[in-house]
């Protein structure tokens, strides 16, 4: 495609497909999704002039991974998003085959986007450019010529997804990269003026330091610090999406993963000194390439793509769209452990409430709904128990505690989602289980025991599948509060 036609093609595609997309009952209510076509990674998540900005990878022309642009939405509350015009299109020589992922920073009253321009020639040779675009109004972006051209020595041209921050007057970026030995790594760059960048070195990677075989490529790295709310200690986190990990029991069962390491970034060496194991940030079927930002309330908020590359045989494709982002979550460290909590704003969309407080033996219907929040507390149990959501003739999503295995299980076998395997996490000996669940038209996000574990999965129930029930094989005390979303 001639890159000058990109905007016209986008308009035509939207016009042609919008109506079909809008009729789909799987369209989400409170999740960012493309108006047509495919979306993937969140990009440039930031706050500028009083508004939250979310950009995201968007192919306006179809439901495959091509023609990547940066779609752009703004919000006052992280839940109601207004779509603005496409911020970046593949209409420059250095991004002609895709404006790939990246991040944003506000500096000197301007919003800067730092992203990867992707170029592929007919022979499949790749060029990668790390580029800036700058805006004074948060809506129109002036694009600068590439700042970083291709890769440093010893690496392949798989270098992308810069995440930028500023420390002591200097800019830094961590970038995902592949070594010539075909191993995934993260490298650090620095800049005095945001335009000219210097390669500092490799800070982490597969077969680098503590991590042995750890994938052939690391995508979308993110680096930030959190203060432990109990001990006051400052913790550094490196979040990344490694590709190529093999499943190990309940771990790494999606095609590609996302997780984090605790450690300490030594800028001088440079090195991310790892002090923990790699932990998957989400245990569900659909979570990848998240991005975080700190807002003006001092919260570290993270949003992921509710999807995984190459696991995309979704039934919405026939309706000309695929994928959405997760709901925003707040990250906290408490006593050395990472928690993910629903943002406070979630309470503002609570509508009609029902409550349930009973001893359950067997299965009991507690209500109906397709878009809602549910808070549950289970206690006094001595066998399997849980919830069944979006139940209908051929659909149900089961959230259950497997009493013998001491595992929480998400079961979406009944429905139109392609991957029917279970997802599980070990919780150990517990005497209570608390769940906060957000159900949208085609997704479920489950926060377990104050956000110690989270599961995000897309679900595709049949039309009208809206039953909610609670079950216990023998006995359980159950408290439920459910709010229909406004
Ligand atoms: C992750 C990713 C990034 C890349 C973008 C392209 O899902 O592959 O590494 O920049 O998506 O859309």
34, 39, 41, best to mutate for ligand 1 pocket (most atoms within 8 Å of CB): 41
179 in the same domain as 166: yes
256 CA → ligand 1 middle, Å: 12
Instruction: Give percent of the chain with pLDDT exceeding 90.
Output: 97
Instruction: Return the DSSP state at 53.
Output: E
59, 65, 101, best to mutate for ligand 1 pocket (most atoms within 8 Å of CB): 101
Residue nearest ligand 1's atom 6 by CA: 100
The pLDDT of 410-429, averaged and rounded, is: 96
Helix, strand or coil for residue 270?
coil
The pLDDT of 75-104, averaged and rounded, is: 97
Residues 95-129 pLDDT 10s:
999 999 999 999 999 999 999 999 998 787 899 99
Helix, strand or coil for residue 22?
helix
219, 239, 290, 310, best to mutate for ligand 1 pocket (most atoms within 8 Å of CB): 219
Q: What is the pLDDT of residue 2?
A: 61
Domain of 7?
Answer: 3-345
301 in the same domain as 357: no
292 in the same domain as 403: no
Q: What is the pLDDT of residue 122?
A: 78
57 CA → ligand 1 middle, Å: 8
The pLDDT of 397-418, averaged and rounded, is: 96
> What is the rounded average pLDDT for all residues in the chain?
97
Q: How many CA atoms, within 13 angstroms, populate the side-chain half-sphere of residue 217? A: 12
470 in the same domain as 369: yes
Following DSSP, what letter does each residue of 364-414 receive, concatenated?
Answer: EEEEE-SSEEEEEEEES-SS-EEEEEEE-SS-EEEEEEETTTTEEEEEEEE
Q: Which residue's structure tokens are 């592929």? A: 120
Q: Say how far apart CA 482 and CA 223 lie, in whole Å.
A: 36
Ligand 1, atom nearest to 57 Cα: 12
- Determine the straight-line distance between the first and last CA of the chain, rounded to whole angstroms: 43
384 in the same domain as 278: no
**Residue at which a domain ends, from 345, 366, 395:** 345
**Residue at which a domain ends, from 326, 345, 364:** 345
Residues 256-269 pLDDT 10s:
999 999 999 999 99
**Residue at which a domain ends, from 292, 325, 345:** 345
Q: How confident is the model at residue 30 (pLDDT cuts 50, 70, 90)?
A: very high
Q: What is the domain-level CATH number for residue 356? A: 2.60.120.560
452 in the same domain as 407: yes
Asked about 2 being catalytic, the answer comes back as: no
| Closest to 302 measured CA to CA, from 288, 290, 285, 286 | 290
Q: What is the pLDDT of residue 3?
A: 64
Residues 189-232 pLDDT 10s:
999 999 999 999 999 999 999 999 999 999 999 999 999 999 99
Q: What is the domain-level CATH number for residue 51? A: 2.115.10.20
374 in the same domain as 233: no
| Closest to 448 measured CA to CA, from 399, 403, 481, 484 | 399
Instruction: Give percent of the chain with pLDDT exceeding 70.
Output: 99
Residue 1 has pLDDT above 60, yes or no: no
289 CA → ligand 1 middle, Å: 8
118 in the same domain as 75: yes
Q: How confident is the model at residue 418 (pLDDT cuts 50, 70, 90)?
A: confident
Ligand 1, atom nearest to 241 Cα: 1
- CB-based burial of residue 251 (10 Å sphere; 0-12 exposed, 13-18 middle, 19+ buried)? middle
Residue 177 has pLDDT above 70, yes or no: yes
Q: What is the pLDDT of residue 124?
A: 78
Q: What is the pLDDT of residue 326?
A: 98
Residue 271 has pLDDT above 60, yes or no: yes
379 CA → ligand 1 middle, Å: 42
Encoding tokens for residue 139? 């809506």
169 in the same domain as 77: yes
Would you say how long the chain is, in residues? 486
CB atoms within 10 A of CB 406: 12
360 in the same domain as 251: no
Residues 337-368 pLDDT 10s:
999 999 999 999 999 999 999 999 999 999 99
Strand partners of residue 401? 385, 408
Residue nearest ligand 1's atom 8 by CA: 219
Ligand 1: residues with CB < 6 A are: 40-41, 57, 68, 100-101, 116, 160-161, 219-220, 288-289, 309
| Closest to 88 measured CA to CA, from 104, 102, 101, 71 | 71
Q: Say how far apart CA 185 and CA 174 lie, in whole Å.
A: 10
Ligand 1, atom nearest to 305 Cα: 7
* Number of structural domains the chain divides into: 2
408 CA → ligand 1 middle, Å: 30
Catalytic residue among 41, 282, 411, 466: 41
Global pTM value: 0.97
Q: What is the pLDDT of residue 107?
A: 98
249 in the same domain as 172: yes
171 in the same domain as 98: yes
Q: What is the pLDDT of residue 4?
A: 67
42 CA → ligand 1 middle, Å: 10
């Amino acid at each position: 495609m001639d890159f000058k036609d990109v905007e016209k093609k986008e308009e035509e595609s939207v016009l042609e497909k919008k109506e079909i997309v809008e009729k789909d009952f799987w369209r989400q209510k409170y999740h960012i999704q493309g108006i047509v076509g495919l979306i993937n990674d969140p990009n440039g998540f930031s706050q500028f002039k009083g508004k939250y900005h979310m950009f995201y990878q968007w192919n306006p022309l179809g439901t495959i991974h091509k023609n990547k642009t940066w779609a752009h939405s703004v919000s006052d509350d992280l839940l109601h998003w207004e779509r603005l015009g496409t911020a970046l299109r593949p209409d420059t020589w250095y991004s002609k085959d895709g404006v790939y992922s990246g991040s944003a920073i506000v500096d000197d009253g301007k919003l800067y986007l730092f992203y990867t321009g992707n170029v592929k020639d007919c022979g499949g040779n790749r060029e990668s450019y790390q580029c800036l675009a700058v805006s004074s109004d948060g809506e129109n972006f002036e694009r600068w010529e590439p700042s970083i051209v291709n890769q440093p020595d010893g690496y392949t041209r798989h270098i992308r997804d810069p995440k930028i921050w500023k420390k002591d007057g200097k800019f830094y970026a961590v970038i995902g990269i592949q070594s010539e030995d075909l191993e995934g790594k993260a490298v650090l760059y620095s800049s005095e003026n945001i335009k000219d960048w210097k390669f500092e070195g490799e800070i982490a990677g597969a077969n680098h330091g503590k991590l042995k075989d750890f994938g052939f490529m690391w995508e979308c790295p993110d680096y930030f610090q959190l203060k432990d709310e109990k001990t006051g200690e400052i913790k550094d986190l490196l979040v990344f999406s490694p590709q190529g990990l093999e499943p190990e029991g309940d771990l790494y069962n999606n095609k590609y993963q996302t997780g984090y390491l605790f450690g300490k970034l030594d800028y001088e060496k440079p090195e991310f000194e790892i002090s923990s194991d790699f932990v998957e940030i989400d245990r569900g079927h659909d979570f990848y390439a998240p991005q975080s930002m700190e807002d003006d309330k001092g919260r570290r908020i993270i949003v992921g793509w509710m999807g995984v590359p190459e696991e995309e045989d979704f039934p919405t494709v026939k309706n000309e769209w695929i994928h959405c982002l997760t709901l925003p979550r707040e990250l906290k460290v408490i006593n050395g452990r990472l928690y993910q909590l629903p943002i406070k704003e979630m309470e503002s969309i609570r509508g009609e409430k029902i409550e349930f407080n009973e001893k359950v033996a067997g299965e009991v219907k507690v209500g109906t709904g397709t878009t809602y929040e549910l808070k549950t507390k289970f206690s006094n149990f001595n066998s399997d128990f849980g919830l069944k959501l979006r139940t209908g003739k051929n659909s149900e999503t089961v959230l259950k505690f497997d009493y013998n295995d001491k595992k929480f299980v998400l079961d979406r076998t009944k429905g139109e989602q392609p991957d029917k395997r279970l997802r599980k996490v070990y919780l150990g000996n517990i005497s209570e289980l608390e769940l906060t669940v957000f159900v949208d038209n085609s997704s479920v996000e489950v926060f377990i025991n104050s956000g110690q574990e989270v599961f995000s999965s897309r679900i595709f129930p049949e039309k009208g599948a809206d039953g909610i029930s609670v079950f216990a094989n023998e006995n359980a005390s159950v408290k439920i509060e459910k709010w229909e979303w406004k």
